Amino acid sequence: IRLKDGRIALTYGWRRPPYGIRAMISQDDGQTWSREIVLRNDGASWDLGYPRTVQRPDGKCVTVYYFHHPDQPERFIGCTIWDPGK
């Protein structure tokens, strides 16, 4: 997504151990990318991902995704609120 400050935030499912949800930020319209930001790394398997992100008025991002946690047999839709400024 295009953040309010003009940067681009990319979120994606990481389907290799440690399984989870990650993000990267670009300050130059996608020419280069930041280091990975780990939103979650506690997935049970590669069966996760499909994130969608929006930015709240306070600048924080809300990312929702399909997830599989080791303690829960059922897959579910999870959510992480994170600060793209940090």
> Mind listing the pLDDT tens digit for each residue in 29-81?
999 999 999 999 999 999 999 999 999 999 999 999 999 999 988 999 999 99
The per-residue pLDDT for 53 is 99
The per-residue pLDDT for 31 is 98
| 12: amino acid identity, one letter | Y
The per-residue pLDDT for 72 is 87
Mean pLDDT, rounded, for 10-37: 97
The per-residue pLDDT for 10 is 98
